Structure 1
Amino acid sequence: ENLSLQKQFADLLAAHGLTRADIEPQYTCKRCEDTGYVDGRICSCYRSLLKQIAYENLNRISPLTLSSFEDFSLLYYSDVSVNGERSDREQMRNIFNYCRRYADNFKKDSGNLLFTGATGLGKTHLSLAIAAEAINKGFGVVYGTAQTFALSLERERFTRTEESGDDTLDLLNDCDLLIIDDLGMEISSSYIMSAIYNVIDTRIMLKKPTIISTNLSMLELEKRYTERFVSRVIGFYDRLPFRGKDIRMQKKLNPQNKQN
């Protein structure tokens, strides 16, 4: 009877121009059949979606579309040379050209960059300009302030579940380009400092590029973190010291310059 029913079923399919494959569910993930679980454990497809959502959440605050190399102006930097040293404008032109070449030639094992200098000198602007170029090339970029990452890492440390996993930590370690803005401005704790060091150290070992911007000097970084931390940064990062006067303040005090 079973064989007879199977033949009848096959005949019906043939009569309608169908095969058995046509009536089988077309799963996106054949491993878990779109349930998200395999043998009671989270499937890789489900974890990948969780990571994608976490990636989007981390980048939601990033003004990636607001910064580009084209709208970076050197006119805000003084072209006056003091004591025979290069002017702020010449210094920033060199940094701009360096960042431009870095973005044009970006790949998964590009070097690491450390942007130092006072606030409002264009560190965030150029790091986001590099990010935009990397994204246009199809690379995965995670951008955020050190404070944002610190809060996410701390929250997941105390609210960890099987489904949430270590989304932030995984993204910080796995993304093609990580940009940590305002390093040193995050809430300080032994866990946070250790977590940030481990992320930076892991990416160095994996040869994954990272861009760090900070308002702190190297001495201040050493006091806040450790000599070991600064030693790793000095050894594996190209330092680009930004110079000049606060551009945001210049724009606020003289709106006409902003229009020009």
Structure 2
Amino acid sequence: MNIMQRLAQTMPAHVKPYTYEQMQAIRQREADVVAKNLYEQNQQTRVSKALGRSGIKKRHQHCSFDNFVIQNAGQQHAFDESKTFVDNLLNDRACGGFIFAGTSGTGKNHLACAIANQALQQRRSVVVITVAELMLKFRDTYRQDSATSETALIRFLSNVDLLVIDELGVQHNSNNERVMINRIIDERYTLEKPTGVITNLQSDELITTLGRAAVDRIMEDGKWVTFNWASFRINKGTQPA
């Protein structure tokens, strides 16, 4: 008589012991959880190593949905669309990307970073980066003593769970910038990874700057939200950019 048979004899009649196959399935689920946690921790380590910082800069690490100020219907719409996006992202539903467009001080960065912070809390890998910093990172790869290559940087940025590109339209709009950003967007589209864009450009200006194909890839199952109210800074509100 083996141990499972002896246990079965001592158990109450209504208690059914796990079969060998069920025990194996439980062990596999536990192993999968451990592997997932290790993968997520490794992803954040890669973010820190690649950028020399966390995925979200200190200025925006406090941004959340709870402290977003809603004073009009447009802000409510932006809030609702952002909540829907992050809910889809965290539940692995198709969510495309997002484009937050509008003038400075209207809360674009706040809501984008609220999305990013909530994703981080659920142990997703996130990078929020300006175009200027992105181009500096690429230029760094060309140094002889660089620890990474252009290809490796593109691969890294293409594989994080959420990438948000800030200040698109503020840069010099050189052909090299456009090519690099398009390469990242194209690769993320292929991998079905959402890309967010924060910009002060109108739709036609963004298409001219980025290209229609790139905008279409971001907007497939994605969201365009226009922030067309007065700046919180001018009104001495508390909302970040």
State TM-score, norm by structure 1. Answer: 0.66
Tell me what 1:119 maps to.
Answer: 104
- The answer on 1:103 being equivalent to 2:86 is yes
Contact 1:150 1:187 in 2 (8 A): no
The 5-angstrom pairing of residues 163-242 of structure 1 reads 163-166=147-150, 167-235=152-220, 237-242=222-227
- Structure 2 letter corresponding to 1:72: F
Q: CA deviation at 1:130?
A: 0.5
In the alignment, is the contact (CA less than 8 A) between 1:69 and 1:129 conserved in 2? yes
| Greater relative contact order, per chain length (Cα 8 Å cut-off, separation 6+) | 2
2:155 matched to 1:159?
Answer: no
Q: 2:234 aligns to what SS in structure 1?
A: helix
5+ residue gaps, structure 2: 1-43
Q: Distance in 1 between matches of 2:238 and 2:57?
A: 24
* Cα distance in structure 2, aligned partners of 1:49 and 1:100: 27
Among 60, 64, 76, the alignment partner of 1:93 is 76
Percent sequence identity is 26
Give matches, 1:50-89, under 5 Å.
Answer: 52-57=48-53, 59=55, 61-75=57-71, 89=72
Note if contact 2:96-2:219 (Cα within 8 Å) is conserved in structure 1.
no
Counterpart of 2:231? 246
Is contact 2:96–2:218 with CA below 8 Å preserved after alignment? no
1:231 Cα offset (Å): 4.0
Supply the distance in 2 between the matched residues of 1:137 and 1:60 (Cα, whole angstroms). 15
Distance in 2, Cα, partners of 1:179 & 1:206: 16
**Amino acid paired to 1:214:** T
CA RMSD of aligned residues (A): 2.8
Shift of 1:208: 0.2
Aligned length: 195
1:97-155 deviation line (CA, Å, top 9, x unaligned): 12123223423553211111111111100000001100000100011111111221133
In the alignment, the residues of structure 1 paired with residue 110 and residue 171 of structure 2 have an alpha-carbon distance, to the nearest angstrom, of 20
Amino acid at match of 1:164: T
2-structure distance, mates of 1:232, 1:50: 26
The 1:237/1:124 distance shift into structure 2, 3 A limit, reads same
Match of 2:128 in 1: 143
Distance 1:176 1:146 in 2: 19
Amino acid at match of 2:231: D
Structure 1 unaligned blocks of 5 or more: 1-47, 76-88, 252-256
Distance in 2 (alpha carbons) for counterparts of 1:90 and 1:177: 27
The code of the aligned residue for 2:143 comes to: T
TM-score (norm 2): 0.70
Matched residues in 1 for 2:88 and 2:221: separation? Answer: 18
Q: Distance in 2 between matches of 1:169 and 1:62?
A: 24
Contact 1:115–1:213 (8 Å) recurs in 2: yes
Contact conserved, 1:58 with 1:144, CA < 8 A, in 2? no
Matched position secondary structure for 1:193: helix
Q: Distance in 1 between matches of 2:166 and 2:123?
A: 22
